[in-house]
Amino acid sequence: MGTHETHSTEPLPAPRTPAGRDALETILRKPGETLVALDFDGTLAPIVEDPERARAHADAVPALAALAPRVASVAVVTGRPAEVAVRYGGFAGVSGLDHLAVLGHYGAERWDARTGEVSAPEPHPGVAAARGELPGLLERSGRSGLWVEEKGRAVAVHTRRAADPQGAFEALRGPLDALAARHGLVLEPGRMVLELRPPGMDKGVALTAYVRETGARAVLYAGDDLGDLPAFAAVEELRSEGVPGLLVCSGSAEVTELADRADLVVPGPQGVVRLLRALAAQLAG
């Protein structure tokens, strides 16, 4: 397994907000009633230029496997197809992750470790229609270095490889928003990526539904991107209902909105792994 997994002396970081401190105290007192939910890209997996090369941090799965048996449930909430997240994360067949759920496509798909199967509705017809128009739209933009990611139930345009990534992102946002609207889709901006996907699902909706399903009485959510803001809002709403919630930002200078609202900011996937390990060690102790 390597030498990175024996870190029982790692301190548990202290949240900077009263709500975060209250949530962490509840999680430590009632782990069996706690849901730990995490984004994938940028949270469990480092951001890379080519999304198809994204893989979970080397110590992420061991950290999750150490923590999962000590809490009520662990879920990965991602915009990726569930099967892709499972494959890139290496989540299948891992001892300790027997009850892991991966909520893919913002909750439209679900993979359960118990069955190893993905459940999902029929694809939205607007995705195929928008996909057909994308090549012409991108060619007319005059921008080079753009990359289209096929996601099955969604399609995304990445600008990270462009000569001016932020400029390309801003220039394409309006035309892609109009394309999405024409086909009954919504545009989801992220870190140098613009995703066209069906309406009605976001990470907040997915997270709230899973909290209700599991009956969790405390929740930890970790994310890094604009797509995680609905999940942050969902946790804030749950707090108002008396469910303590700890908001963790997998720190990035690219997305200050998340860091500003987080109870705890950690330095990327490596920091998330340290947090999971420290939490598992504290609960074991």
Give pLDDT tens digits for 81-136.
Answer: 999 999 999 999 999 999 999 999 999 999 999 999 999 888 889 999 999 999 99
Same domain as 46, residue 131: no
Q: Which domain holds residue 166?
A: 125-197
Burial of residue 224, with CB atoms counted within 10 A of its CB: 0-12 exposed, 13-18 middle, 19 or more buried: buried
What pLDDT is attached to residue 285?
A: 82
Share of the chain above pLDDT 90, in %: 83
The residues that are catalytic are 39
Residue 9: per-residue pLDDT: 61
| 245 in the same domain as 181 | no
Query: Are both 178 and 219 inside the same structural domain?
Result: no
34 found inside a domain? yes
Report yes or no on 232 lying in a domain: yes
The overall average pLDDT reported for the chain is 93
- Mean per-residue pLDDT for 69-81? 96
Distance, CA of 194 to CA of 197 (rounded, Å): 10
User: 234 with 208: CB under 8 angstroms?
Assistant: yes
In a domain, 3, yes or no: no
Buried b or exposed e, range 75-109, using 16+ CB within 10 angstroms: bbbbbbbbbbbbebbebeebebbebbbbbbbbbbb
**Final residue of a domain: which of 197, 220, 248?**
197
Which range, of 49-53, 187-191, 209-213, 278-282, averages the lowest pLDDT? Answer: 49-53
Same domain as 49, residue 190: no
pLDDT at 152: 83
- CA dist., res. 257 & res. 280, Å (int): 28
Question: Is 13 within a domain?
Answer: no
What is the DSSP secondary structure assignment for residue 153, as one 8-state letter? S
Per-residue pLDDT tens over the stretch 157-210: 999 999 999 999 999 999 999 999 999 999 999 889 999 999 888 999 999 999
